[in-house]
Amino acid sequence: MQLDANKESICINQLVGQKSDILEVEGDVIVNDIKPDILNTISVNGNVCIYKKEIGDGKVKLDGAVNVDIIYLADDETGSVRSLNTSVDFTKSIDFDECRSGMDLDEMLSIKNIECKVINSRKLNVRAFLDLNVKIYSNDNIEIINDVNSIEGVQVLNNSLEINSLIGSGSTRAFAKDTISIDNVDNLAEILKSDISIINKDVKTSYNKILAKADLQLKIMYLTEDNRIRTVTSVIPVMGFVDMPNVSDTNICNTKCKLKNVVLRPNSVEEHSINAEIEVEINCYVYEPKRINVIQDLYSPTSNVQFGKRNITALVNTGSINEICNIQEQLSVPEIQNNQIYDVCVRPSIQKENIGNKQVTFEGEIELEFLFEATTSSGLASKIMKVPFNYSINNDNINEFTTLDTNVEVKENNFVVLNDGAVEAKIELQFGLMISKNEKINVIDNIEVEDKKECNGYSMVIYFVKPKDTLWEIAKKFDSTIEEIAKVNEIEDPNKIMPGQQLFIPRYCNRKTA
């Protein structure tokens, strides 16, 4: 006879697989007819945007573009500095055995390195190497038996857990538009390069909605018509709503913002300004912390009880950490001497992550590309340097079983040329960590009660505890109960029994033997 039991429904969002790789994107760039010929390149920078992603059985497909800013020395009479602002489209298919159609994909792509080779005066070859981290999640609605009270004398082994039940997920696209003013004495000739980062991310809940906010931090280097190199900075707020039924302010929100498209161009209507149009994708997962009672095992001393077992993996102990790592270095850059620094491109990367008990340590490096005033005819030169860093975060929820989703970004940076020709670098790195643990849980289902056990009556046996024995296992083996064994043997703590300890086991049902 199948038994009706009390059940609780939860939605399990679990990580089924992840993969890290280096993707190579390559393409040729043709110089626009209105631009002068290329003599050689000075600097190459960019960002990567994914505008389409597909999940199939055993495969992930990404469509995107690497937006590239190339500063070059023109092959003209004055040897002027010019730029190319272009993009290299790509489509990449990634084999992923664990993924299935309908699962969720979380992809992180960043530029590790860009190379640019001059093929001829009107053609360049661009090769970008991208750091890829892909995670695949499944969302499964599961019913867990949490109470059984209709079996005679039933003994239940419970496990109380706090898990995060997925309420829902959603995404939206937010558009930021702004007019960035430059100095009134500057007549803009062209944009040389831009650096864009998403900072000050925040999330709030309202009635059936998630409000996600962030700031887009822009630094634009431009060329004036009289061949001066200037920079301008701006912060553009961006905001988006994600519809989410049944959300409340007690829920846990995991929100990520990603650049999808960037358009920067001189303002054709208003002088001394730049039009910025930036598209940001906002992805949001919302969890409800739940304490659930999970039945690990059960039996009846007087009835035959049969049931099935299965393992599930639940997300537990999700939280977030945000910390600032301050790095201060004096760098020897003799090429700069006492000249002006126009811009420094700061690219942090984590190369190693060591997770221990209550601590995680990151080892990485910061690549610095200096663009500075030079004594050459072009008036611009570049220099790349690398600064290693080591940073530790302490938190009681971190252990060897913890899964970390880490994001590191540059919050602030400042570079000052000292009198001795050295450069003092001050950099603030913001570490954002989402902490979770995928815990395997044994649950039971399909409980059936068969006929009562045949008994010869009440009896007692003597048992000597073996290593790794538990009182639950002993009681189940001899059709007794933990309470009766503890009472007879005057055991104060049922969780503490010792190997070799002698126990008197009262038996409710002494099974007949043939």
In the numeric block, the tokens 């469509």 are attached to 63
CB 398 within 8 A of CB 406: no
Query: pLDDT for 300-315, tens place per residue?
Result: 888 888 888 888 877 7
Please classify residue 295 by burial: count the beta carbons closer than 10 Å to its beta carbon, then call 0-12 exposed, 13-18 middle and 19+ buried.
buried
Decide which of 502 and 454 is more confident.
502
* pLDDT of residue 248 exceeding 70: yes
pLDDT at 510: 52
Decide which of 319 and 177 is more confident.
177
Task: Report the C-alpha gap between 469 and 495 in whole angstroms.
Answer: 10
CB 88 within 8 A of CB 63: no
pLDDT at 184: 92
Task: Report the C-alpha gap between 372 and 380 in whole angstroms.
Answer: 6
Share of the chain above pLDDT 90, in %: 48
Query: pLDDT for 130-170, tens place per residue?
Result: 999 888 988 888 888 888 766 667 888 888 888 888 888 88
| Per-residue pLDDT band at 509 (split at 50, 70, 90) | low
Q: Which residues contact 425 (CB under 8 A, 6 or more apart)?
A: 327, 328, 329, 330, 331, 368, 387, 413, 414, 415
Q: Say which amino acid occupies 437.
A: K
pLDDT at 377: 62
Over residues 85-111, mean pLDDT: 90
* pLDDT of residue 8 exceeding 90: no
**Joined tokens for residue 202:** 């925040």
Query: pLDDT for 54-74, tens place per residue?
Result: 999 999 999 999 999 999 999
Q: How far is CA 301 from CA 148, 266, 482, in A?
A: 15, 83, 11
Over residues 197-215, mean pLDDT: 88
For residue 298, which of 476, 441, 146 has the smallest C-alpha distance? 476
CB atoms near residue 414 (< 10 Å):
11
CB 330 within 8 A of CB 422: yes
Query: pLDDT for 386-429, tens place per residue?
Result: 999 999 999 988 888 888 888 888 888 999 998 777 899 999 99
> Which of the residue ranges 6-20, 206-220, 457-471 has the most confident prediction, judged by mean pLDDT?
206-220
Over residues 341-370, mean pLDDT: 92
Q: Which phi-psi region, left, alpha or beta, contains residue 317 (left: φ > 0; alpha: ψ -120 to 50)? A: left
| Per-residue pLDDT band at 513 (split at 50, 70, 90) | very low
Task: Report the C-alpha gap between 109 and 93 in whole angstroms.
Answer: 14
pLDDT at 385: 93
Task: Report the C-alpha gap between 511 and 457 in whole angstroms.
Answer: 9
Task: Report the C-alpha gap between 179 and 197 in whole angstroms.
Answer: 18
pTM of the model: 0.80
| Per-residue pLDDT band at 454 (split at 50, 70, 90) | low
* pLDDT of residue 191 exceeding 60: yes
Choose the weakest-confidence range: 293-302, 355-364, 494-503.
Answer: 293-302
Decide which of 149 and 97 is more confident.
97
Domains and CATH numbers, the chain: 13-138 (no CATH), 163-293 (no CATH), 306-451 (no CATH), 453-507 (3.10.350.10)
* pLDDT of residue 317 exceeding 90: no
pLDDT at 313: 78
CB 426 within 8 A of CB 327: yes
Mean pLDDT of the chain: 88
Residue positions counted in the chain: 514
Over residues 178-189, mean pLDDT: 93
* pLDDT of residue 185 exceeding 80: yes
* pLDDT of residue 464 exceeding 90: yes
Output the CA angle 176-195-350, nearest 5 degrees. 110
